[in-house]
Structure 1
Amino acid sequence: MPNDRRDFLKKSSLAGVGLMGGGLFDLPSQGAAPFPPFPMPQELNLIGAYGPWAKGLHLESLPSFSFRNERFSDIDSWRLEARNLVSARMAALDLGAVPEVTVHRSGVYEGVSFEEISYQLPYGMPTKAVILKPENAKGKLPGILGLHCHGGNKFLGLDKISRTRSDVPGYVQTHHDTYYEGRAWANEVAKQGYVMMVHDAFAFGSRRVRVEDVPPVIRRGITDFSLDTIEQIDAYNDWASDHEHILAKSLFSAGTSWPAVFFSEDQMALSILAARSDVDASRLGCAGLSGGGLRTVMLGGLDPRIACAVAVGFMTTWTDLLLYKSYTHTWMSYVPALPQELDFPEILGIRAPLPTLVLNDIEDQPFTLSEMEKADKILQEVYAKAGASDRYRCSFHPGPHKFDKAMQTEAFGWFDQWLKG
């Protein structure tokens, strides 16, 4: 009986369509507009038949606020407007006064003096950070903010690129080996004569979202919150990965965005670094791989205190993210509506004519090589129009997603040229 009823409804509904539509499935009558043709075969992309349409909305013409537009000629006035535009689009935050810093531990490790510190922002757990500089350093040194990567690991933060002891857990050493050719690169650049600061980014390390602080319905069965074993840490990182879309949507609902929180917290860390008595605040830089490269794009592009920037393993176009690679990235990258006005590399280009180095990996899985090359061309055009071609460089290194010793050597040399020269 139920099957007979379904058959009846199916037949009667089709009959109704025929009666009401005057033969919807018949060929068009003479003089009527023909049916639109079926879409032609196209290059595969992440959203299928909608890809060409979505790209055509804003990404096939020069973005409206690009400095490459003929209507812009004064780099200084454009830069000011562009910074205000991006800050507004991401809904940047004002975190108030620079907080008091607490020093928890200090010492020397392999020729580097260190201070393990923390400070309290207006929300969340205290932020842990580390200060590194050459042992027995005297006077004021250039300062560099080291921006750690994402790496699919939110349990770790500053430990991904810094080190203050020899007995690190195996999973920390594995991270160094995988992405940095075995090095804690922040220590290596500190040895070259810099005061380095590395802090835990929002949602990482000391700033991570605790499973015990969220409702049981989204804990995915996690009941052990101790994170004492590698199995527990892996389970947390899996959970934190799935929690990203919730956190991003919640930030949107609060009237801000993940890039805004990153940017505002990185600015505060830069203020703490710049205020130190051993730092020359006129010679500040920042650098990072992957998620740290993304943060370099935002901080380097929007904060004029960054005199020299090195973005590693995060440079492409909005087209790449739209059509090919958004599935390899987190929610941390996206600023609503901004692609109408600036292509992604132009965020970093706002800093022109200040020195900027972009380091890419030729076999970098999260990006499409041809779009990385387009991003390089865009930045070349911006710097050329700003009369500062000698202050921009982009290098393509062999291999997958990484910041290895050869790339570190190039980055450290760039800092030496512009922060010490």
Structure 2
Amino acid sequence: MDAAARPSAIPGYEDWPGYVRDHPGAQVPEASRPLALVLGVSAPPQDITATVDWEETYDGVTTSQLSWQLGFGPATRAWLVKPAGATAPLPGVLALHCHAGNKYTGASRLIDFPPGRGEPGTEQAGRGPGANESRAPESGPSRYSLYGGRALATELARDGFAVLAHDTFAWGSRRFNLDHPPWRTADALSGFRARWREEGHQPSAAEDYNAAAAFHEDTVAKAAGLAGTSLAGTVAHDDLAALSVLAALPGVDPERLGCLGFSGGGGRSLLLAALSPAIRSYVVTAMMTTFDSLLPTYLDAHSWLLQTPGLARLGDWPGFTALPAAVGFLVQYGISDPLFPETGMRDADRVLAGLHAGAYTGSFWPVGHEFTFDMQQEAFAFLGRALK
């Protein structure tokens, strides 16, 4: 095949390597610089202009769809959810969506949309977010089944917070355009499609995309390494940018900011708190263990979000909680979580208890890999005590 006919390995993100080169070194506390360097966290734009695409009040909450451009790749789409009629400045929380093997959508899985708005996701990958897309194939309660059937960000807003949930790098509005996937991804996708044909299954756009994205993540990690960053580092860049947007929004108290996330979102919560002194309190759900416990049998249960090359040279995963300026944090464990050995979680809990006298709270739940109703209530109450 002629070289000119080869598909791009990073479709929709050809400007990403140049951005990394031109935006070195995010501004982080001195103690966090080694972490930022290993992750390759680029400096996000200083002044981000967030546009309000629409805003509606329904069932006691006001939901606003926002969008902004970070300088590479497609524009970011996000949702701000807050109690209807709130007048005093509210504590702000960044709700960080999970990985879940679902990159077709992102933060929309955390939002309960007003009637008629629907969940976005059917627009062409690589295009900017629109104001009123139609419903995605995975709309409805099933899209947040890992969250106890609840829209996490919307429920947290009902508890008295201004909650911003954004699509991060490689998810939702920030996903890659895989209409013409690169070679390795195309080969893997052809296998899925052949099996679906044999089964008589007509895949949805989301199923087709997520099958491709699962293999494409390896390509993204390779591209990141060549550019001088990482998947986790570029996700952290997007999360730092979203935090700056949240802090600048009207009606948000920039002195009372927190974050929370489940699974991959929990890892993002830990790293964001480690990189930004603006985070006063945070919650990590179903994303805490020791690095040693992942080898050899649990390694393949996790994505490049957790397994950045060189990260273990700086220390163990629980040790990165020593970097933040947060006044307190909560870690929630599922005893039956199939992605982590219980010994690794127990070891992490002991390390954290020894590192943080009074600042760390750990809770073990008789559940698998999920963020149940009761776990959410504990997380909401914890953030309320810290930020309200």
Distance 1:401 1:172, change over 3 A: farther
Partner of 1:145: 94
Q: Within 5 Å, which residues of 2 pair with 1:20-419? A: 80-166=29-115, 171-176=138-143, 178-212=145-179, 214-215=181-182, 218-220=185-187, 231-351=204-324, 354-384=327-357, 389=358, 391-419=359-387
- In the alignment, is the contact (CA less than 8 A) between 2:185 and 2:215 conserved in 1? no
Deviations 1:218-245 (A, max 9, x none): 43467x9xxxx85232121111001111
8 A contact 1:352–1:383 mirrored in 2: no
Residue type of the partner of 2:375? M
Residue 372 of structure 1, CA deviation? 0.6
Gaps of 5+ in 2: 1-27, 120-135, 194-201
2:179 is paired with a residue of what secondary structure? helix
Structure 1: stretches of 5+ with no match in the other structure? 1-78
Residue 174 (structure 1) shift: 4.8
Q: Is the 8 A contact 2:96 2:260 kept in 1?
A: yes
Relative to structure 1, is the Cα distance of residues 259 and 349 closer, same or farther in structure 2, using a 3 angstrom cutoff? same
Partner of 2:10: none
Which structure would you say has the larger Rg?
1
The structure in which a higher percent of residues are helix is: 1
1:348 to partner: Cα distance: 2.1
Q: In structure 1, what residue type is equivalent to 2:337?
A: D
Structure 2-normalised TM-score? 0.81
Letter in 2 for 1:209: F
Using the alignment, how far apart are the partners of 1:171 and 1:125 within structure 2?
22
Q: Percent identity?
A: 35
Q: Report the Cα distance in structure 1 between the residues aligned to 2:339 and 2:245, rounded to whole angstroms.
A: 32
Following TM superposition, by how much is the alpha carbon of 1:213 offset from its aligned partner in structure 2, in angstroms? Answer: 5.5
Distance 1:86 1:335 in 2: 11
Indicate the SS of the match to 1:219.
helix
Cα distance in structure 1, aligned partners of 2:160 and 2:172: 27
DSSP-derived class of the 1:146 partner: strand
> RMSD across aligned C-alpha pairs, in angstroms?
2.0
Distance 1:111 1:139 in 2: 16
The alignment partner of 1:211 has SS state of: coil
Partner of 1:76: none
Shift of 1:176: 4.5
Letter in structure 1 aligned against 2:305: M
Q: Residue by residue, what CA displacement relative to the aligned partner does 1:42-84 show, whole Å, maximum 9, x if unpaired?
A: xxxxxxxxxxxxxxxxxxxxxxxxxxxxxxxxxxxxx954311
Could you tell me how far apart the structure 2 residues matched to 1:98 and 1:324 are? Answer: 44
Assess, with a 3 A threshold, how the Cα gap between structure 1 residues 300 and 136 changes in structure 2: closer, same or farther: same
TM-score, structure 1 normalization: 0.75
CA distance in 2, matches of 1:297, 1:94: 19
Match of 2:198 in 1: none
Kept after mapping to 1: 8 A contact 2:327/2:386: no
Is the 2:247–2:253 Cα contact (8 Å) retained in structure 1? Answer: yes
* Cα shift readout 1:242-286 (whole Å, capped 9, x = no counterpart): 111111011011111111111111000000000012100000000
In structure 2, C-alpha distance between the alignment counterparts of 1:278 and 1:219, rounded to whole Å: 46
Judge conservation of contact 1:211–1:219 (CA < 8 Å) in 2.
Answer: no
**CA displacement at 1:177 relative to structure 2:** 5.1
